[in-house]
Amino acid sequence: MSFFDLISSRHSVRAFKEQKMSNDAIEKILAAGTGAPSAGNLQSYQIFVVSKKEDKKRLAVAAHGQDFIERSSTVFVFCADPNTSAREYGKRGEDLYCIQDATIACSYAQLAAHSLGFSSVWVGSFIEGEVANTLGLPSGLKAIAMLVVGIPAEKPEITTRRPLSEITHIMM
């Protein structure tokens, strides 16, 4: 599948078959995520891989009852590491670059999951403290995004995108 076909065929799925993901698939998704560019190549993020049913249930509760999280194969939680970024870039690294690093890594992981035949949905709506407690996050890490991945139990509705003319500004 070409890169552009990969992008155009990826759509969010919120219904999953309760099926485990192989360690090989998890490693490939993680490798793609960590292959993403980052400010100063610091990779100022940490990725938590959650496959235990009880932990996924706790994440679902933390995500305001988004129960599909519990039925997914694996949840990848991307956490910004402000301290790592701040050492090199000060306040801007602490407030922005680490968040960008985590979200770019999540995007790469999402595309990798899709290329391996999995479906996913990006979850950003959650109670940060509850996610931190579930994961046992060390002080300083900040949960940014959950990438919920699994075998789809639904065919996603194809959503339209805004025309380029509405969101782009060409300055030549």
Q: What is the pLDDT of residues 82-106, one digit of tens each?
A: 999 999 999 999 999 999 999 999 9
Domains of the chain, earliest start first = 9-167 (3.40.109.10)
What's this model's pTM, rounded to 2 decimal places? Answer: 0.95
pLDDT 10s digits, 102-124? 999 999 999 999 999 999 999 99
| The predicted structure's pLDDT at residue 158 | 78
| The predicted structure's pLDDT at residue 166 | 96
Count CB atoms within 10 A of the CB of residue 80. Answer: 26
Strand stretches in the chain, DSSP E: 16-17, 45-50, 74-80, 119-123, 142-152
Partners of 77 in the beta sheet? 48, 146
CA–CA gap between residue 36 and residue 51 (Å, rounded):
23
| The predicted structure's pLDDT at residue 97 | 98
Residues 39-45 have a mean pLDDT of 98
Which residue in 146, 117, 152, 143 sits closest to 22, CA to CA? 117
Question: Do residues 59 and 126 touch, judged by C-beta distance below 8 A?
Answer: yes
**Is the pLDDT at 41 greater than 90, yes or no?**
yes
